[in-house]
Amino acid sequence: MDTSKILFSQIMDYLPRYHFDKCVKRYDGDYKVRSFFCIQQFYCMAFAQLTYRTSLRDIEVCLNAMRSKLYHIGLRGPIAHSTLADANEQRDWRIYADFAQVLINIARPLYVDEDIGVDLKDMVYALDSTTIDLCLSLFPWAHFRKYKAAIKMHTLIDIHGSIPVFILITDGKVHDVNILDILQIEAGAFYLIDRGYTDFSRLYTINSSKAFFVTLTKSNLQFRRVYSHPSDISKGLHSDQTIMLTGIQSCKDYPDKLRLIHYYDADQLRHIYFLTNNHTLPALAIAKLYKCRWKVETFFKWIKQHLRIKAFYGLSENAVKTQIWIAISVYLLIAIIKKNLNLEMSLYTILQVVSVSVFEKMPILQAFQDIDNIELISNSCIQLNLFDL
């Protein structure tokens, strides 16, 4: 590694520039632009994510304080917050959404062998959404309720490595279950969803696509038992039944057999009822598999705590989506670097080291070599480690 490069520049070297330029060209992002190109916009916004900048003025002050080093990170001169604001308002957010998909395609193979705690060769995905509250007077385009604005980030996570494979940003009024109409279902894959996605016509579409789902039942589920399989109460398995739906509408929406598993979670002292269309996996494996769904919740908590996606640098829909997609790109970029450098530390630790070292001239591995075996987080800290390997 070239030791003459500052750390931020070495991190940006992991960006596939050819694919980035293709995304820019696809949406004419640099059309009639003379100085502040899309790649410079990405650098500035990535710097803000890595160093936890709170505003455009904050970004401007911090970057210009290191004016002599801006050239080394790909910026051609002093940064004005108005220039960055205009870029966020005018450059098509789809440039960064498409580029995030490029990074997803790079990151997923790196984590394909990650252990998920279940002996299963098929792909496993977890689907959920998180709501980001906004001020209605400042973000009227994101109208949610009478006195409230919000957007939703619907996300499908690859359980292997917690890599997002599908993200859709909508206003807060879009119901979660509608996302099942948009997903491209992968045959043979498992989809872990909560009971909010229980719509039997859509679940039957997953079944017809030769894929599997695991969800929780609602309390008003109407069904009849077809067959009871052996169960082991000593392991928490109270029952394992093949059922048919008997509700007036549900039996029409899902005319095939389902599997209902009653499991007692001794750790949380609660009874859980799983509903799935997979009839071959052991019942305990189904219960253990659904436990992996917490990774999508952890992903949401992690990016809200450690990246800037709750407070925004711009007020327009384009600026908000641009910021979110660049934040996702930074998350994926650090995940890629973690694997390429064989770093054992958590993603949180990597971000902390980078945040205080972005303008240091040192080999990127040297920045982490003294941190590998140091526990930076106390036992009482509530920060979440997404990559504890």
What are 184-187's contacts with CB under 8 Å, separation 24+?
Answer: 185/209, 185/211, 186/123, 186/125, 186/211, 187/211
Residue partners of 107: CB distance under 8 A and separation at least 6: 161, 163, 332, 335, 336, 339
pLDDT of residue 107: 94
232 burial type by CB count under 10 A (0-12 exposed, 13-18 middle, 19+ buried): exposed
For the purposes of burial, counting CB atoms within 10 Å of the CB of 138, is it exposed (0-12), middle (13-18) or buried (19 or more)?
exposed
User: What is the H or E stretch that residue 259 is in?
Assistant: strand 258-265
What is the predicted pLDDT for the residue at 161? Answer: 84
- The Cβ of residue 26 has, within 10 Å, a number of other Cβ atoms equal to 12
Instruction: State the pLDDT at residue 267.
Output: 83
Q: Are 164 and 216 in contact, with CB atoms under 8 Å apart?
A: no
Query: What pLDDT, on a 0 to 100 scale, did the predictor assign at position 3?
Result: 54
Q: CA-CA distance, 243 to 200, in Å (whole number)?
A: 14
Backbone torsion region of residue 162, taken as left when φ is above 0, otherwise alpha when ψ lies between -120 and 50, otherwise beta: left
The CA distance from 95 to 161, in Å, is 25
pTM for this predicted structure: 0.89
Within 10 Å of residue 354's Cβ, how many Cβ atoms?
A: 21
Task: Walk along the chain (389 residues) and give the pLDDT tens digit of each residue.
Answer: 455 688 999 999 999 999 999 999 999 999 988 889 999 999 999 999 999 998 999 999 999 988 888 887 778 778 899 999 999 999 999 999 999 999 999 999 999 888 888 888 889 999 999 999 999 999 999 989 888 999 999 999 999 888 999 999 999 999 999 999 999 999 999 999 999 899 999 999 999 999 999 999 988 899 999 999 988 888 889 999 999 999 999 999 999 999 999 999 888 888 999 999 999 999 999 999 998 899 899 899 888 888 888 889 999 999 999 999 999 999 999 999 999 999 888 888 888 888 888 888 888 888 887 665 444 443 344 444 544 44
pLDDT attached to residue 387: 45
Burial 203-214 (b: 16+ CB within 10 A, else e): bbbbbeeebbbb
State the Cα–Cα distance between residues 30 and 84, nearest whole angstrom: 14
